[in-house]
Structure 1
């Protein structure tokens, strides 16, 4: 089961970053925008693009996983021979190392930060960083028995975080993974209720409780749709924009607006 429960995420500044190459009907849209809203990802090399189909390397993956899992990374230094203390991802890599999520690559003391990362290795890093446990879903992947990181792949699959590759029963554990695919895995580890937008492939969203943006009044403890007239009248100091579900907002003690009925 998923043991790290983060039920709501807030953006300090709204609107959150939207990427010019992430279409709203893409299967990965909600996942990428969710990570952007939570400052896990930003524009690729200073641009407004995300490059969702690009392969991702180990240092970029380490940053996304460590930040997504809420690991303490500031001021930390890894002990890998090929990660200098002034390396931009050193703290994130160190945080994963402290969590037991990464170790020397193939028996060495190297992390290989610039190497592309495999789907199996991402599985291990996410499970250990988020401290995930086995879920209740049946695992029907046909190509993971006896492979490296099988246990971790099964944990992700049993929690509904990963499934068959492109509609098959194969996981393709040795395939290198893309930025979009990593975004989905991390997002679902953070917030299991996130779904794909309709038309974007994968699971259909629950129209009655989809993950979306709401405006929260931290003074009155009510939450509103962004189009609600109350949002314009609200004092700025009382506003907080959050990307979550209506049911989770209620669980946190906020009441839905009686006008816009979020």
Structure 2
């Protein structure tokens, strides 16, 4: 969730050739008028993996490995690491070179441009005649790279944004269909001049796959120093020590000294028959706060089938991850589908955030009243790595627990919540509870996403709740950034709340700040750019709201208690709280004098809220059709989070 939107590189229009290139790109790739509608055909492109010594040049062939129908046009932008590589030539498949990178090259129409400052190559090709079309196994072009003399040894990935048609687009011959093109390979392994690296031979092993997917395929982190000699370490299976079932190595990754635990996957898999439930990797007292636990896909898949979880335990914190939340099969498909499970490495890491993120958190806190950052931010990450390619595992189907250990002598009572930093520089709540320890207190954070987390102290109160029954609940949620005041340091606890406002408070409490997946809301009365547009889209994506039969949501209408309970009952599934069954529903409603007045559509949701103690009624009545107040909303949301063990 701490995601900075990268500026999309675009062609510089400073030369007439590039102006023509850009115009040509926009004209070629939309489907022709009247073209037949069809499922995209499948194609597969390979950037051949290569090794090269620092200071030497290597040629990378780009080949159409598979295609159902010949290709007549393509467009791609290839990004590379300018700190290690520079482009010295591009050769079309006919052998003509392009030293200026801006001119048209025959045959057909081949355009190329290199931006050596930003580190990208843009290529557009269109076959003008049938004999130009590219078939299976034919080469598209080659790129000549030079590894810079000061290049750090390691793997560098030629990266393409497969989700952006401006950067990756293929079309078949008439009738024109878009080709669903996957990408394989593209790893350039740089060795030192004395290491004997071969600048022209491909690296060993099969090529990795990189295909368009919800989580982009990027380059894996590069180790900037040679790991020290590994040593055997103990891990725990179901609480029992397993001696010499893993090794530990220390290296420098992104300027952080990192301890990596490599699990002996086969030894752990053999424990499945004994009922594998928990795999604990304790890495404490090493002097390094950045820790990575590494398992292969075969082990993760086996643990998934056993409903097992992996736990990474460090001096900084603990990450408890059910294997089922990794979704191994989905990740392998994103890597091209051909990767062997044994060759895919899953890296689960706990890493102190870099200085940029620390500064961003401090800047966000400084813009808020009465807010102090108590503990430095920590990154919790899960990555799948295969032959230099990487897929980030960022979203889960259920809440995943992380624990941040507070520095010694830090008072846990001075923490009001954990937060994540948004791209716009604001901080938002994630469900957090503080646990007192004998030496160090700890904050337990639960979230449906991976992100960077920090801990803050943000005490809050309002002048009009000092004697109100809801004071404790309102102050708690206000200190967590879940509810806001009504102006002039007041809360207006008895004022009714609208449907949009109730939805927003519930989402903030649950830590749901963006849609689970791409959704298009069709509500006729939810206007684009309204303050609640994102909240409505998020609630729809998680199945919390559905609107009315006339396709409206009525965001500004006051919400009734029955309507509020219906939304809350849907949230109960997310936090794993049981709902009332049919017999319970009847009995629970009958215990109130107006229970029979609850409409059929609201009966089960209202009964479920009663079952979990989220609502209690007043004077023996439910008053399901009455408007719900701001104070009641705060109380219900707090009870929901507490009942689920999230706060």
Q: Under TM normalisation by the shorter chain, which class is it?
A: 0.5 to 0.7
**Shift in CA distance, 13/76, structure 1 to aligned 2, threshold 3 Å:** farther
2:614 is aligned with 1:161: yes
Residues 10-25 of structure 1: pairs in structure 2 closer than 5 A: 12-23=455-466, 25=467
Residue 112 of structure 1: aligned partner: 554
| 1:14 Cα deviation after fit | 2.9
Residue 100 of structure 1: aligned partner: 543
Do the aligned partners of 2:499 and 2:558 also contact (CA within 8 Å) in 1?
yes
2:633 is aligned with 1:177: no
Normalising by structure 2, we get a TM-score of: 0.27
CA distance in 1, matches of 2:511, 2:432: 13
Q: Deviations over 1:191-215 (max 9, x none)?
A: 1399xxxxxxxxxxxxxxxxxxxxx
Do the aligned partners of 1:116 and 1:176 also contact (CA within 8 Å) in 2?
yes
**Shift in CA distance, 95/130, structure 1 to aligned 2, threshold 3 Å:** farther
Pick the aligned partner of 1:63 from 497, 504, 525: 504
Task: Give the structure with the larger strand fraction.
Answer: 2
CA distance in 2, matches of 1:78, 1:13: 34
Of structures 1 and 2, the one with the larger relative CO (CA 8 A, separation 6+) is 1
Residue 638 of structure 2: aligned partner: 187
Tell me which structure has the larger Cα radius of gyration.
Answer: 2
Residue 8 of structure 1: aligned partner: 433
Residues 25-44 of structure 1: pairs in structure 2 closer than 5 A: 25-44=467-486
Normalising by structure 1, we get a TM-score of: 0.63
Pick the aligned partner of 2:605 from 129, 146, 152: 152
Pick the aligned partner of 2:563 from 110, 113, 121: 121
Pick the aligned partner of 1:134 from 562, 579, 585: 579
CA distance in 2, matches of 1:71, 1:150: 26
| SS state at 1:152 partner | helix
CA distance in 1, matches of 2:504, 2:524: 18
| SS state at 2:621 partner | coil
CA distance in 2, matches of 1:21, 1:111: 31
CA distance in 1, matches of 2:512, 2:606: 21
| 1:39 Cα deviation after fit | 0.7
Task: Give the structure with the larger helix fraction.
Answer: 1
Deviates more, 1:144-153 or 1:113-122: 144-153
Q: Deviations over 1:20-50 (max 9, x none)?
A: 1111x42111111111111111221x43111
Pick the aligned partner of 1:48 from 465, 489, 492: 489
CA distance in 1, matches of 2:493, 2:612: 24
Residue 198 of structure 1: aligned partner: none
Do the aligned partners of 1:96 and 1:129 also contact (CA within 8 Å) in 2?
no
Deviates more, 1:132-141 or 1:64-73: 132-141
CA distance in 1, matches of 2:498, 2:479: 22
Do the aligned partners of 1:119 and 1:174 also contact (CA within 8 Å) in 2?
yes
CA distance in 2, matches of 1:70, 1:82: 25
| 1:134 Cα deviation after fit | 2.6
Residue 240 of structure 1: aligned partner: none
- Computed over aligned residues only, the root mean square deviation of the Cα atoms, in angstroms, reads 3.0
| 1:15 Cα deviation after fit | 4.1
| 1:190 Cα deviation after fit | 0.8
CA distance in 1, matches of 2:644, 2:535: 26
CA distance in 1, matches of 2:503, 2:604: 20
| SS state at 2:512 partner | coil
CA distance in 2, matches of 1:91, 1:76: 10
CA distance in 1, matches of 2:465, 2:488: 13
Do the aligned partners of 1:17 and 1:42 also contact (CA within 8 Å) in 2?
no
Structure 1: 5+ residue runs without aligned partners? 195-242, 245-262
| SS state at 1:128 partner | helix
Do the aligned partners of 2:562 and 2:624 also contact (CA within 8 Å) in 1?
yes
Structure 2: 5+ residue runs without aligned partners? 1-397, 402-430, 435-442, 444-453
Do the aligned partners of 2:499 and 2:556 also contact (CA within 8 Å) in 1?
yes
**Shift in CA distance, 34/111, structure 1 to aligned 2, threshold 3 Å:** same
**Shift in CA distance, 42/125, structure 1 to aligned 2, threshold 3 Å:** same
CA distance in 1, matches of 2:531, 2:626: 26
